Amino acid sequence: MNHEGRIERARAALNGSKIDALLVTNLTNVRYLTGFSGSNGQVLITKSGATFFSDGRYAARAADLVHGAEVAIYDARLTDLLPDSLARASIARLGVESTTVTLDEKDQLAKKISAELVPVKGVVEELRRVKEPEEITAMREAVRLADQAFDEVLSILKVGATEREVALELEIIVRRAGAEDVSFEPIVGSGPLSAHIHHSPSDRAIEAGDLVLMDFGALHEGYHSDLTRTVVMGSATDHQKEHYDLVLRSQSAGTEAVAAGATGVAVDAAARAVIESAGKGSEFGHGLGHGVGLDIHEAPRLHKISEDTLQAGEIVTVEPGVYVVGTGGIRIEDCVLVTQDGAEVLSKAPKHELIEIPI
């Protein structure tokens, strides 16, 4: 991955702002800017330089991984070195990431440094929205690994298997396929539990006639994928087919609305209108989708309350669902690349009809 230019772009955000420097403490942002992955690292970006800080455990790793910033290793804590760095660069107002720094950390910083702390948010997250070609390549592989895992998991779906067993198999399949990890703990919901939007797999054994909703992803080079498919154990009822078709049509409408310049509100509305016109609007109780990349959920959002406008090169999920309490839920989710004039659906796992698992 080529990290060159990223710190430069973050620095551009300092120009015209009220801060002289930015302290990046969100580890995903640190990884994006420098290439460093680990449990402790911070980046100070001033108008003329950049310093990566960590502790001794990461000295060798930082020397290997960090690009575009000087590496400084402290004994115990960031404030061992930060005051000097700030003084050398004459920093009077330091931007700190308000979504990461805790109140306690803020107090500690305020005690040790003389610069004024200015809460800022979203600076690096904004840069992360549009993916570079190499990032898109990594995402395509993360998506491909999830597609492959879906294909393989179908053969282990059996009446009597518990949701937890299927979730464990999914993790094994994803990792065996070559992923670094799963993107998140897989969601496997069966029968009435498939109506729980963010269900934790339980000991419920899958029964004939159940809808089985599986939401999972693969991690590749730090990039996440996110895929949901819903299948049925045995022959689908007309009712299940009808619901599936409704969600599929909603998903197509949402995907067709994706393009550079479309707002997150408009894309959400395009998919939601299909479900609302069938009188099921109240059974689609979440946003249509989210950006995905180094985090499983990142900007932009496709949601009623989104403030985002899509840009070419962003990767978002499109994931409408209809959840009927007591009966079951259906969700279909793909990762989609925003292009200048539309969208490229990256996920290739089959979805065009409700898959019936032989029982």
Residues that bind Zn ion (CB under 5 A): 215, 226, 228, 317, 333
Rounded to whole angstroms, the Cα distance separating 214 from 174 reads: 13
Q: Least distance from C-beta 32 to Zn ion, angstroms?
A: 20
Nearer to Zn ion, 194 or 317 (CB): 317
Q: Is the dihedral of CA 106, 4, 145, 196 positive or negative?
A: positive
Axis crossing angle, helix 133-153 with helix 163-176, rounded to the nearest 10: 130
Nearer to Zn ion, 25 or 317 (CB): 317
Q: Coil, strand, or helix at residue 126?
A: helix
Q: Least distance from C-beta 201 to Zn ion, angstroms?
A: 14
Nearer to Zn ion, 3 or 131 (CB): 131
Instruction: Please state, in angstroms and as integers, the Cα–Cα distance from residue 264 to each residue in 120, 239, 260, 307, 342, following that order.
Output: 23, 31, 11, 7, 14
Rounded to whole angstroms, the Cα distance separating 118 from 123 reads: 13
Q: Least distance from C-beta 216 to Zn ion, angstroms?
A: 7
Q: Least distance from C-beta 217 to Zn ion, angstroms?
A: 7
Contact predicate 267/311, CB 8 Å: no
Nearer to Zn ion, 51 or 228 (CB): 228
Nearer to Zn ion, 130 or 316 (CB): 316
Nearer to Zn ion, 113 or 146 (CB): 146
Nearer to Zn ion, 30 or 275 (CB): 275
The percent of the chain in helix, strand and coil, each rounded to the nearest 5, is: 35, 25, 40
Q: Is the dihedral of CA 64, 68, 72, 78 positive or negative?
A: negative
Q: Least distance from C-beta 187 to Zn ion, angstroms?
A: 7
Rounded to whole angstroms, the Cα distance separating 3 from 300 reads: 21
Q: Least distance from C-beta 331 to Zn ion, angstroms?
A: 8
E strands, 15-110, in order: 21-24, 42-46, 50-55, 70-74, 93-97
Nearer to Zn ion, 21 or 318 (CB): 318
Which pair of structure tokens corresponds to residue 309?
Answer: 């406008």
Per DSSP, 327 falls in state: T
Element holding 176 (H helix, E strand): helix 163-176
Q: Least distance from C-beta 226 to Zn ion, angstroms?
A: 4
Q: Would you say how long the chain is, in residues?
A: 359
Which pair of structure tokens corresponds to residue 224?
Answer: 């996440």
Q: Least distance from C-beta 342 to Zn ion, angstroms?
A: 20
